[in-house]
Amino acid sequence: MAPSSPWERPARWLTALLATSSLLPAAHAQYYKIGTPEEIRQSARTLAYDLMLFYKGNQSGETPGILPGPPTEHKGDYYWWEGGAMMGTYIDYWFLTGDTSYNHVVTEGMLHQVGDDADYQPLNHTASLGNDDQGFWGMSAMLAAENKFPNPPEDKPQWLALAQAVFHTQAAPDRHDNTCGGGLRWQIPRLNTGYDYKNTIANACFFNLGARLARYTKNTTYAEWATKQFQWMYDVKYIDNENWKVYDGGHIGHNCTDINPAQFSYNAALLLQGSAFMYNYTNGSDLWKGRVDGLLTGILRDFFENDIAFELPCEGRQGACTADMLSFKGYVHRWLSVVAKVAPYTADKILPVLRTSAEAAVKQCTGGETGRRCGFYWSSGVYVDTAVDKTSGAGEAMNVLAAVSSLLIDQAPPPATNETGISKGDPEAGSRSRGTSTALDPITTADRAGAGILTLVILGGFIGTWGWMSLAD
């Protein structure tokens, strides 16, 4: 059970809100049942259908891959990255339920957003392009490779190659400098607001992707990058080395010592999942087991009040969660379920909590005309209309779909590797990207044939030249 927060949980505003009947729709009986695997699949099918109603990318004249937005252009509530997160949610949904209904939407959306250089840096999203935004799309591509999601047409970029391209561009020398002793900045373009901020989420995405590529390809260079990236976050105290709290970031003008102490669940969960992959990759090393144990203890303490997902920095205040934050619970459920698979000794601690949390999630899905619309506030057991937080509700719907689908993780195989997977890698992935100037050796036919084969010149060269030294909309 999490400690008390500044927002006095259970929140007084929520108690008052729930007592105000005029703010709530007519009462509905609970629609979703998750007692058996078949009930879980049926509930997930309906949740997946309802989530897709928020997506316009498969409609004529709309842009595949993105949710309506960005809000800065008054087009909707969502920034570019959340479309990539939604694609990942549907990749997991297919993997866990076997329902192929949305695979064509996912493939179309994932390929439409790769950008001119097949590295998830599309020019029309430069104004809000952060390392974390690019990282989320890269992690969804990595997930497609790990889950053996159907491959794209042969003349299109492949899932593993896309994940490599994202990692390679983020490992390039132009993404790193000596400020704060290392680490990625939040934003990629120098003129973007936030370029002077080095935050956990950008570095956690890079670490997580590196850890998963290390396990998939068995290439030690990815593991070296992941290890150094985690150590940097630990040393700079974004990861509190006493209580395993994970903080948001700091500014380079203060040498990253002005740490924003906000704790967001997806930061901690990304680091935990990446650590579990490194634990698996290192055959259960004590170092990575200690990190898995510490981060897991912190997450269950801070983000699962009474074993129910709770977004610590904002949930206790009406309308305080941004559209970004309103989608975090689903990622946490998905990533923790995979932790239980790649670090199996954690399953007895993780899976019961995920079930309790999912049961609370579906209990409050009683809103809207259908009587099954989902809100964000799971602990109350009562639907709170998404108008309270002034969003359309895509994040809230995605959360519950993820929580329900993840209950099937015990029936799923572990994430694939180079030996069991079907996706092809590309050792030159990312070499054509803007700002990547390192020369690459010619690629051979043998290189193209092997999934996960990596030209060491790319990453090894970056390590030699890099002196080792957030969340917002």
345: CB partners within 8 A, 6+ apart: none
Tell me: pLDDT of 443 over 90: no
300: CB partners within 8 A, 6+ apart: 349, 353
Contact 176, 218 (CB under 8 A): no
> To which H or E segment does residue 257 belong?
none
**b (16+ CB within 10 A) / e for 78-87:** bbbbbbbbbb
What is the structure's pLDDT at 284?
98
- What are the pLDDT digits (tens) for 80-93? 999 999 999 999 99
Averaged over 407-422, what is the pLDDT?
A: 98
What is the structure's pLDDT at 23?
43
Confidence of residue 27 (pLDDT cuts 50, 70, 90): low
Averaged over 67-74, what is the pLDDT?
A: 94
pTM of the model: 0.88
Tell me: pLDDT of 255 over 70: yes
Tell me: pLDDT of 72 over 70: yes
Averaged over 428-454, what is the pLDDT?
A: 45
Tell me: pLDDT of 154 over 70: yes
Residues of the chain with pLDDT > 90, as a percent, come to 82
Q: Average per-residue pLDDT in the chain?
A: 88
Preceding peptide of 10 cis, ω within 30°:
yes
- What are the pLDDT digits (tens) for 184-217? 999 999 999 999 999 999 999 999 999 999 999 9
- What are the pLDDT digits (tens) for 315-369? 988 789 999 999 999 999 999 999 999 999 999 999 999 999 999 999 999 999 9
CA distance 220 to 13: 51
Six-digit token string for 416: 């694939």
Tell me: pLDDT of 136 over 50: yes
- What are the pLDDT digits (tens) for 282-302? 999 999 999 999 999 999 999
Confidence of residue 464 (pLDDT cuts 50, 70, 90): very low
Region of poorest pLDDT, from 33-37, 124-128, 149-153: 124-128
